[in-house]
Structure 1
Amino acid sequence: MNSIIMINGKVNFQITLDPGVWIFDDRKVDLTTYFTQEKEAKDELEEYTKSVSKHWDREIIEGAIVPPTLKTERTFKKQKVLNGTFGIPFKPFLENAEIQEDATMVQFITADEPVTVPLEKAYEIILGFSLKGKPLQEDGPIHLYFGDGSNASNPIKNIKEICVI
C-alpha cells in the first residue's frame, strides 16, 4: 500500500505528505478527545515560552538531574504515543503549498468517489493517521475529519490524493 499522498492542483508548490512521520510531529492531536473538548486559541510563541520557563524553573529548583517524576511523565507520554489515536491539522500543509488566488475548492480523491470541500472548510480539516497506536493500513493512509466533528464517528477514508481546484 502506498502511504504517500500528494497535494497538487492550483498550488505554487506541490506537497508530498507522509503520514508515517506525523507521530513525531508536535502539532498532532488526540482524536479521542479533540472533538469533545472545548477549543481555545493558542499562541504558539506563548506556549513555547511557558514550556521553556517551566523547564528552566524545574532545573533551578531540582538541579540538572532528571527527577523520578519526569521519568514517569516520559513513560506515560511514550505509552500514549504507542496506544493513541491521532490526527493532524490540514491547515499548515495548505499554507505551505501556497494556494493560488483563483482556487475555491479542495478535492479529496478516494478509492470510491471524490469528496469536494470549500477552501474555507478545508482549513479546518483534521487528517487522522493513527488508530490505537497503529497506522491506518486497510482504509488509509489518512482519514478526513471535518473541523466541526460532524463526521467524527464516520470519517472519509481511502484518500489517495488531494487536489486544490
Structure 2
Amino acid sequence: MIVPIVGNVSYSITLDPTVWIFDDRKVLLEEAFTIKANTTDKDDVVKAAERWDREVSTQFSKPPVNRSISRREGETFLENSYVMPIYDFIHNAEINTDAKNATLVTWNDESDVTLTIDELESGYFLFAMDGKPLKEDGPVHFLYGDGSNKDNPIKHVKKIHIH
C-alpha cells in the first residue's frame, strides 16, 4: 500500500496513503474540482503567497504537529471520499530540472500512463472511498487537476517514475 517516487529526482520518497486520512491537506472528492473552478487569479496569487510563506517558515521551524481529532471528526472521515493534492510530495522529491515527464506505473504494466510534470503536479490521488482505503484497485487512483477523468481515474497506481 505504498507509492514510491523514483527516477530523475534528488530524493526518492515513499508515500503511504493509508495515513492520509488524518492529514490536514486532504480534500473531499466532491469539493476538489469545484474549488479550482471557482478561484480567480487573485485567489491564485494569495495561495502562491501563502505557499511561499509556508515554505520559508518550514525551513526555519519544526514541522507542525498533527492536532487531535474529535470522535465526530473521526466518524466523518469514515464516511467520505478523499483526494490528496500531489504537489507537495513532488516538490519534496525535488524533481531535477531536466525531467520532462512522469510515468504512473500500475500493477498491470500495460496500462502505465505517461504525463507531463505539470499534469502530475496539478493532479490528485484518490486514496479513500467512503472512508476506506482502496484495497481492490489501489493503493491510489490518479485524477487530473481539472477533473477530466473523475469518472474514469487511472487505477492501480503503484509507483511514480520521473524521467
The normalised TM-score by structure 1 is: 0.77
Q: What's 2:20 paired with?
A: 22
Whole-angstrom CA distance in 2 between matches of 1:86 and 1:116 = 24
Matched-pair identity in %: 40
Q: CA RMSD in A?
A: 1.9
The Cα shift of 1:35 comes to 1.6
CA positional deviation for 1:76: 4.2
Q: Return the alpha-carbon distance in structure 1 between the equivalents of residues 89 and 33 of structure 2.
A: 21
Match of 1:114 in 2: 112
Q: Following superposition of structure 1 onto structure 2, how do residues 1-165 of structure 1 map, counting pairs within 5 Å?
A: 3-37=1-35, 38-39=38-39, 40-41=43-44, 42=47, 43=50, 74-112=70-108, 113-165=111-163
- CA distance in 1 between counterparts of 2:81 and 2:15 reads 18
Distance (Å, rounded) in 1 between the aligned partners of 2:71 and 2:21: 16
- Displaced runs of 4+ in structure 1, greater than 4 A? none
1:61-102 CA distances to partner (integer Å, 9 max, x unpaired)?
Answer: xxxxxxxxxxxxx45433321111001111101100010111
Deviations 1:129-152 (A, max 9, x none): 000010000000000000000001
Q: Which has the larger radius of gyration?
A: 1
Aligned to 1:52: none
Greater CA drift, 134-143 or 31-40: 31-40
Partners of 1:90 and 1:11 lie apart in 2 by 15
| Unmatched runs of 5 consecutive residues or more in structure 1 | 47-73
Residues of 2 paired with 1:9 and 1:162: CA distance?
Answer: 8
Separation in structure 2 between the aligned mates of residue 120 and residue 33 of structure 1, nearest angstrom: 21
Separation (CA, whole Å) in 1 of partners of 2:106 and 2:20: 21
- The 2-side partners of 1:123 and 1:36 are apart by 18
Instruction: Provide the rounded CA distance (Å) in 1 between the counterparts of 2:144 and 2:3.
Output: 18
| TM-score, length of structure 2 as denominator length | 0.77
Provide the C-alpha distance between the structure 1 equivalents of 2:29 and 2:101, rounded to a whole number of angstroms: 25
Matched residue of 2:145: which SS? coil
Instruction: State how many pairs are aligned.
Output: 137
Structure 2 residues without counterparts, runs of 5 or longer: 55-69
